[in-house]
Amino acid sequence: MRKGILLLIVLVLMIPVSDVMGQRRITPVNTPATMTQSINETKRDSVDRSRLVRMEDAEGNVILVDTVAGTEFVDSTSIEKQIPKMIYPLLNSVNIGIDLWSPLMRAFGTSYGLIGFSGQLNMHNRYLPTVEIGFGKADYDPENNNYRYKSPVSPYFKIGADYNFLYNSNPDYLLYGGFRLGFTSFNYDVTDVSISNGYWAPAHTMNIPRQHANATYIEFLIGIRVMIVKNISLGWSIRLHNLMHSTTGQYGDPWYIPGMGTRGSKVGASFTVSYTLPLKKKSKPVIDDLPADNALPDPGPELPEMKNHEENEEIVPRLTEPEA
């Protein structure tokens, strides 16, 4: 009976021991957070900061080295989010151009357009605010010859901006997209309007008095610009435009809108020859620590020139043993 009681007591005492022995051992995993935890703590810091030496690795990360224990830590407090810097200055250059697309198209038979000019400021080689001004005219006579549309030389104005997708590359090459908001105020005439009164009745001709109109439109464009020689560039762009507002005359809408094209057109283009004026000149190297009179420092007294062995004997005495 006593043996049974003793055996039961021994079994009861072994149960907690077996639970402790049966627990799985967990190996701690070092992560960047756990590696720097002991360094980022202040009051309860287990590492003596007086033993730490601040260093940098090849990638520029700050490394703290414990000179006693020989362990290294990454100082997470020094890790900052680096904002990408602009390679080029804020006011990088000014570009002045002339649009030759309309003169070229008129040479090939187009009955409208004239010429345009542009001025553009290059900011960080990334943002390109632009102003355009130009003149347009039209003289259109359709094939059926039932009227003639004429618009005298009229100005137009555009303002907008471009975004250079190659802003961290050579500024001599631009791939950009942008927009323009255009406005124009112009006059137009419709003459020689042929009106037929029927099959047998003769047609008669009339002229519509001069009309005045205002128009506002918007353009979205994408283009390229390449510098071919020093400061001289060629540029091409394709433009999608949409008429936002136009006043309607007493006898109908205008057929041509300066700076945009015909009323029903949706696509335009430009061919620009431009000159780029840099705003930041290259600085010349400056030599510091020069005297006020820009004279070079005195090199000191000249040493005698040693030409041969005999002259050397006069300058540097030989060491001879004392006579006995």
pLDDT digits (tens, 9 = 90+) for 216-238: 999 999 999 999 999 999 999 99
- Is 252 part of a structural domain of the chain? yes
Whole-number pLDDT of residue 191: 87
Q: Is 197 part of a structural domain of the chain?
A: yes
Q: Please, which pLDDT band fits residue 284 given cuts at 50, 70 and 90?
A: very low
Whether 94 contacts 279, CB under 8 Å: yes
Beta strand 204-229 with 232-246 is antiparallel
Q: What is the spatial distance between Cα 231 and Cα 249, in angstroms, rounded to a whole number?
A: 46
The CATH number linked to 114 is: 2.40.160.20
Instruction: Find the farthest-apart pair of alpha carbons in the chain and give their distance in angstroms, rounded.
Output: 154
Same domain, 97 and 231: yes
> Residues 40, 103: one domain?
no
Residue 85 pLDDT level (bands cut at 50, 70, 90): confident
- Domain count of the chain? 2
Signed CA dihedral, 283, 285, 288, 292: sign only: negative
The separation between CA 286 and the C-alpha centre of its own chain, rounded to angstroms, equals: 30
* Residue 66 domain boundaries: 34-78
**Residue 45 sits in the same domain as residue 175:** no
Nearest to 192 by CA among 142, 152, 231, 125: 142
Examine the pLDDT at 29 and tell me if it is beyond 60. Answer: no
Q: Are residues 116 and 51 in the same domain?
A: no
pLDDT surpasses 60 at 45? no
Within a domain: 315: no
> Does residue 207 sit within a domain?
yes
Exposed e or buried b per residue across 245-265, where buried means at least 16 C-beta atoms within 10 angstroms of its C-beta:
ebeebeeeebbbbbbbbbeee
Domain assignment present for residue 147? The answer is yes
Could you give the percent of the chain with pLDDT greater than 70? 64
More confident residue, 137 or 46: 137
Q: What is the mean pLDDT of the chain?
A: 78
In a domain, 10, yes or no: no
**51 plus 187 within the same structural domain:** no
Both tokens of 246, joined, read 């136009």
Kindly state whether residues 61 and 166 are assigned to the same domain: no
Same domain, 45 and 186: no
Is the pLDDT at 28 greater than 90? The verdict is: no
Taking phi first (over 0 means left), then psi (-120 to 50 degrees means alpha), and beta for anything else, what does residue 184 get? beta
What whole-number distance in Å separates Cα of residue 255 and Cα of residue 258?
10
Q: Is there a single domain that holds both residue 51 and residue 196?
A: no
Q: Closest by alpha carbon to 139, among 54, 256, 283?
A: 256
DSSP string, 162-195: EEETTTTS-TTEEEEEEEEEEEEEEEEEEEEEEE
Closest CA to 178 of 145, 221, 207, 136: 221
* Same domain (yes/no): 135, 265: yes
Taking the C-alpha atoms of 118, 122, 128 and 132 in order, what is their torsion angle to the nearest 10 degrees?
Answer: -10
Question: Do 118 and 207 sit in the same domain of this protein?
Answer: yes
pLDDT at 44: 47
Say whether both 39 and 142 belong to one domain: no
Element (H, E) at 18: helix 2-22
Distinct helix (H) and strand (E) counts, the chain: 4, 13
Distance CA 150, CA 265 (A): 18
In a domain, 7, yes or no: no
Q: Is residue 4 part of a domain?
A: no
Are residues 100 and 70 part of one domain?
no
pLDDT of residue 311 exceeding 50, the answer is no
Instruction: Quick: pLDDT tens for 162-203.
Output: 999 999 999 999 999 999 999 999 999 988 887 776 666 666
